[in-house]
Amino acid sequence: MFEISKRDGLARLGKVKTKHGILDTPTLLPVVNPKILTLSMDELKECGAQGLITNSYIIYKNIELKEVAEEKGVHGLLNWNGPIMTDSGTFQSHVYGEIDMQPDEILNFQKNIGVDIGTVLDVFCEPETRFEEAKKELDETQKRIEESDKNKGSIFLAAPIQGGRHLDLRLKAAKMASKTGADVFPIGGVVPLMEKNNFEKLAEVIIASKKGLDISKPVHLFGCGHPMLFALASFLGCDLFDSASYAKFASRDSLMFTWGTKNLDELEEMPGEFSAATGLTVKELKEMKKESRQKIIAKHNLIVSFAEIRRVKQAIHDGLLWELVENRLRNSPALMKVFAILKREMDWIRKFEPAYRYKTPMKTGNESDWRPIFSKLTNSFKSGDMVHPYFGKVPSHLSETYPFHPGLLQNDIEGWKMQDWNLERVRTILDYQFGKGNGKNLTAGKAELIISRKTKRLRNLLLDDEHVASLSHRRGMFILQKRGAELIHRSSKFPQFRVVVNSETAEFNKKGKSVFCKFIEDIDSQLKCMDECIIVTPNDELVAFGKLIISPKELELGQQGMAVRVRSGIETS
């Protein structure tokens, strides 16, 4: 159901494929109360909604709503033809006390009204709940998940991850839920943390849950509806969010922005992000009748939310999510505390870091120094004739190689200049990319550099008239070709640079077919997403080469789908 197209660390662009359409992740599901429609379905679409979330318990307990839902389905009830997810009543239990509903009863109702994603009636665990009580509640939730999994029918099942503030219970809950056939993993019980601005604990809970979850499934952060949190939550690996906040905040005249919340009474001028009613002044908005004003503010809140979702998506696409997250965390003292959590968890976060990003990384403050790209490479060269403001001394031969290429920093790099192409420069890049010694290994013989007449850039590296590698001008590193893959294979020890596949499926890889996760038996743990790699059998027979498009850690956590985009197979004669 979940197809991932691009990654930026733990964040991913993907598609959740449901019976009623596709959700492009990360995305926001506006909460719709069928009894109180703040915005119409057309207005929700206009704001950017692809899907909705509503509450099956509220529908079930209302005679009129229940009859329409059972007759026309939930899509007919809401007049919405896109994906619909339903909550189960757990939050109502949290707010109002125990509800009169059995888990199988509410699950069957969700199935009967044709929801796309239905949720288990779990036990809401308060952050203040003591460990022993939280453990009992978690055991009950897991029991309900397992029973619901057997009875989910054709709907996608959302299995909430509970455990309160206890991180070991969150990890346990994630691992147990991942062993079931659940399709979506909502991280539950976190609304009280967000209401108290305890974003530090929120980040800890998300990370603890992600460490145990089947990473091939989408993760939903229940109740996360404020735009200032979307970048952080996506960065930590959440794919879906839901928001009743757009309407709740509007009911008390509160406007949401990426930098926080402002009550209408506090405003003298309308911030530039306001686009729900073009040309409307603060004075005019204040003078409106409450119902009209509430609708405009709710629309504003949702427009700002979806604008931030699109901004997060673009940042993932560009490989600039780190920069966006750092910017958002500096918006409040409560969010600033999350930096300490990121620093503490950096060894784990580093395992998802790609080999390169599509844009030059930028430092936006002192906290940037903790990022894997900066902490690993700063002062990593013993000498260099170019002084980079981020990385210290760097060999000038790497002046156009990621992450040292100038980008916006060209005037700040001491000694930077365009370098001529020669064998020494090629070897320096190969050593940096594949490890010391491989510069000579891949050029030992009659090496020839093919230079573009038009751009004067290196295009291909040949050895004894055979194609070794091509140069990617975007990142200034090499793309292996057949001879290069053979040389890497010959000069390195198992399992360096290797993705080890099942001997039977290796026959398909020899013909140029991509490598899928389920057929991988071993992998070099030092490889990173986007690295060049070679594909071998358990007997170390070279069968193909290409680009790794997941991290080894993702493979360990159960990632499915394509793992290596094979560039070419190597048929044996």
Looking at residue 51, what is its pLDDT?
96
**What's residue 298's pLDDT?**
94
Which two tokens mark 94?
Answer: 């949290």
In the three-class reduction of DSSP (H, G, I as helix; E, B as strand; rest coil), residue 509 is classed as: helix
Q: Residue 419 pLDDT > 80, yes or no?
A: yes
Contact 246, 301 (CB under 8 A): yes
Query: In the prediction, which pLDDT does 132 show?
Result: 94
pLDDT score for 520: 96
Tokens representing residue 139 in the block:
């055991």
- Domain 2-242: give its CATH code: 3.20.20.105
Look up residue 416 and give its amino acid.
Answer: W
Range(s) of the chain covered by CATH 3.20.20.105: 2-242
pTM above 0.75, yes or no: yes
- List where CATH 2.30.130.10 sits in the chain: 493-573
pLDDT for the residue 99: 66
Instruction: State mean pLDDT over 535-559.
Output: 94
Higher-confidence residue: 341 or 407? 341
For strands 21-25 and 11-18, give the pairing. Answer: antiparallel
Show Cβ contacts of residue 191 under 8 Å, excluding neighbours closer than 6 positions. Answer: 91, 94, 222, 223
Contact 89, 57 (CB under 8 A): yes
Confidence band of 88 (pLDDT split at 50, 70, 90): confident
Under DSSP, the state recorded for 222 is T
What token pair was written down for 294?
């509430």
219: pLDDT confidence band, cut at 50, 70 and 90? very high
* 511/527 Cα distance (integer angstroms): 24
At residue 95, φ and ψ (nearest 5 deg) are: -80, -45
- Segment 208-217 mean pLDDT: 94
What is the pLDDT at residue 328? 96
- Tokens representing residue 214 in the block: 């089947």
Region 135-158: mean pLDDT is 94
No. of H helices and E strands in the chain?
Answer: 23, 25
CATH of domain 342-412: 3.90.1020
Q: In 97-134, which positions are buried (b, 16+ CB within 10 angstroms) versus exposed (e)?
A: eebebebeebbebbbebbbbbbbbbbbbbebebeeeeb
Mean pLDDT for the chain overall: 92
More confident residue, 9 or 198: 198
pLDDT of residue 229: 97
Strands 185-187 and 219-221: parallel
Active site residue 265: no
Q: Output the pLDDT for position 138.
A: 93
State the catalytic residue, choosing from 8, 42, 87, 522.
87
State residue 448's pLDDT score. 95
Q: Which CATH architecture has domain 493-573?
A: Roll (2.30)
The model's confidence at residue 273, banded by pLDDT at 50, 70 and 90, is confident
Q: Is 70 exceeded by the pLDDT of residue 97?
A: no
Question: Which of the given ranges, 8-12, 264-268, 533-537, has the highest pLDDT on average?
Answer: 533-537
pLDDT tens column, 298-322:
999 999 999 999 999 999 999 999 9
Report the share of the chain in percent with pLDDT over 90.
76
Mean pLDDT of 120-148: 92
| Burial classification of residue 225, based on how many CB atoms lie within 10 Å of its CB (0-12 exposed, 13-18 middle, 19 or more buried) | buried
- Positive or negative, the CA dihedral 72, 77, 82, 84 is negative
Residue 410 and residue 430 in contact, taking contact as beta carbons nearer than 8 Å: no
The Cα 314–Cα 318 span in angstroms is 6
What is the structure's pLDDT at 12?
Answer: 93
Evaluate the omega torsion of the peptide bond into residue 218 and state whether it is cis, within 30 degrees of 0.
no
200/558: higher pLDDT = 200
The percentage of the chain sitting over the pLDDT mark of 70, rounded to a whole number, equals: 98
Residue 473 pLDDT: 87
Alpha helix segments (H runs only) across 38-185: 41-47, 56-61, 63-78, 90-96, 103-112, 131-150, 167-178
Q: Classify residue 166 as exposed, middle or buried by CB count within 10 Å of its CB (0-12, 13-18, 19+).
A: buried
**Average pLDDT for 209-230:** 94
Mention every residue, 6+ apart, whose C-beta is less than 8 A from residue 395. 381, 383, 384, 385, 386, 428
User: What is residue 91's predicted lDDT score, i.e. its pLDDT?
Assistant: 67
Q: Where in the chain is the domain with CATH 3.90.1020?
A: 342-412
pLDDT of 245 reads: 92
Is pLDDT of 5 > 80? yes
pLDDT at 96 over 70: no
Q: Going by C-beta distance under 8 Å and a sequence separation of 6 or more, which residues neighbour residue 4?
A: 12, 13, 14, 561
Say how far apart CA 344 and CA 342 lie, in whole Å: 5
Q: What is the mean pLDDT of residues 320-347?
A: 95
163 with 175: CB under 8 angstroms?
A: no
Q: Which of 42, 31, 16 is nearest to 301 (CA)?
A: 31
Tens digits of residue pLDDT in 37-86: 889 999 999 999 999 999 998 898 889 999 999 999 999 999 999 999 99
